Amino acid sequence: MASQRTRIKDVASIEGIRDNQLIGYGIVVGLKGTGDTQQTVFPIQTLLSTLERMGITVPQTGNNSASNMQVKNMAAVFVVSTLPPFSRPGEKLDITVSSAGDARSLEGGLLLMTPLYGPDGQIYAQGQGPLVLGGYQVTANGNSRQVNHPTTARIPGGALVERSVPFDLKQMKTVSVILTDADFHTAERMAGAINAELKTERAHVVDSRRVEIAAKPEEDLPALLDQIEAVQIDVYPRARVVVNERTGTVVIGGKVRLQPVSILHGGLSVNVVTETKVSQPNAFAQGTTQVVQQTTVQAQDKPVNRIELKEGATVEDLVQELQQIGATARDVISILQGMKEAGALEADLEVL
């Protein structure tokens, strides 16, 4: 079994030292008529609430009431961010802003101060700033041009941390190292390498993903974690084929092995074409003009393509054979699934 040598830091994490997801709701202003329409109610409610906090009261009746407001230069958005471990108040975070209503574009927008909440309902950061888009949408005279998604944007360093997540390394009695990919073989090798580095038998395997190291009283835990993460171990990656049926993408790992197999691949293509024609009666006839549909059914049975893989065949051989028969991405996905069922594909087949 082929292995690769890497640091523990690259294939595992320390339990308790983790990122935290943040989410908030706010409004983006300064749009050029591409904001939410009047049919989206909650942006108006958000605007009224913001104005009230600033001492501005909008009448509820009359021509200038809230029901008659037509604000097209603002949009309601959800704001998300990730709070890294050991973040302190005053640090900056990148945030992502996405439209929550029917706004056409967030180009040129400015996010007003938005509190970002953690899973416990507490405010951990405040976001605000001008948006940076990776796309655009232009509409003129009934024609439109769009690149990427103009309703999602980012603000680099757009949030300030207001509260840190309480976590004290000194309270850790046991250091738990969690493997990214569960594997008993790798876990055993990792525990052995840690014991060899520490020159004690302090690390032991709990399961296929967890290795625990007992911490000594008054031990310098940051120094211990630094020593553990720098240890190099032999990792045995699992052979895996990843298939995305929505996009037709197939990624085959280099560790994938193939068994001798013969593949027959063909298909029956059926096309149903409907044409609409107008039947016009003669000038002196008593008939009326009718729309007539003419349907044509075409069937084409494609010849069967054969692929034969002998013992010792590699993934490169399979790809070359598939290219020679003109297989599409959808064909490759079907063939790989069939090979997995036949036992000719020695890898985990993961379908996204």
What is the tens place of the pLDDT at every residue in 71-118?
Answer: 788 899 999 999 998 899 999 999 999 998 888 888 889 999 999 999
Q: Are residues 245 and 342 in the same domain?
A: yes
Q: Tell me which long-range contacts 61-69 makes (C-beta under 8 A, separation of at least 24).
A: 69/38, 69/44
**Any domain includes 282:** no
Q: Which two tokens stand for residue 284?
A: 């002196």
Domain boundary among 187, 214, 235: 235
Among 161, 177, 192, give the residue marking a domain's end: 161
Name the pLDDT band for 127 (thresholds 50, 70, 90): very high
pTM: 0.67
For residue 41, count other CB atoms closer than 10 A to its CB: 11
Same domain, 137 and 184: no
Q: Is residue 290 part of a domain?
A: no
Give the domain extent around 12. 4-16+168-235
Nearest C-alpha neighbor of 259 from the set 170, 348, 344, 159: 344
Amino acid identity of residue 160, one-letter, is L
pLDDT of 270 > 60? The answer is no
List for the chain the helix, strand, coil content (%; round to 5). 20, 40, 40
Same domain flag for 98 and 35: yes
Residue 9 and residue 24 share a domain:
no
- Mean pLDDT estimate for the chain: 81
Q: What tens digit of pLDDT does each residue of 226-257 get?
A: 999 999 998 877 778 887 777 777 787 767 77
280 occurs within a structural domain? no
**Pair 188, 152 in one domain:** no
State whether 148 and 189 are in the same domain.
no
Q: Does 50 reside within a domain? A: yes
Q: H helices within 199-328, ranges in order?
A: 221-229, 315-324
Domain check: are 36 and 121 in the same one? Answer: yes
Distance of CA 203 to the CA centre of its chain: 35
Q: How open is the CA angle 270-272-273, to the nearest 5 degrees?
A: 140
The Cα 191–Cα 208 span in angstroms is 11
Residue 132 in contact with residue 156, Cβ under 8 Å?
yes
The answer to whether residue 25 sits within a structural domain is: yes
C-alpha 139/C-alpha 145 separation (Å) is: 6
The answer to whether residues 71 and 121 belong to one domain is: yes
Asked if residue 226 is part of any domain, the answer here is yes
Do 10 and 91 sit in the same domain of this protein? no
Q: Which residues of 182-204 are buried (b: 16+ CB within 10 A; e: fewer)?
A: ebeebbebbbebbbeeeeeebbe
Q: How many domains does the chain have?
A: 3
Q: Is the same domain home to 153 and 192?
A: no
178 within some domain: yes
The more confident residue out of 1 and 77 is 77
Look at residues 108, 133, 161 and tell me which one is the last residue of a structural domain: 161
- Tell me, yes or no, whether 329 and 344 share the same domain: yes
**CATH code at 172?**
3.90.1150
Go through 57-83 and write b for each residue having 16 or more CB atoms within 10 A of its CB, e for each that does not: eeeeeeeeeeeeeebeebbbbebebeb
Domain assignment of residue 281, yes or no: no
**Phi-psi category of residue 246: left, alpha or beta, with phi > 0 → left and psi -120 to 50 → alpha:** alpha
Q: Are residues 217 and 246 in the same domain?
A: no
Which value, in Å, is the radius of gyration of the alpha carbons in the chain?
A: 31
Nearest of 111, 115, 104 to residue 155 by alpha carbon: 111
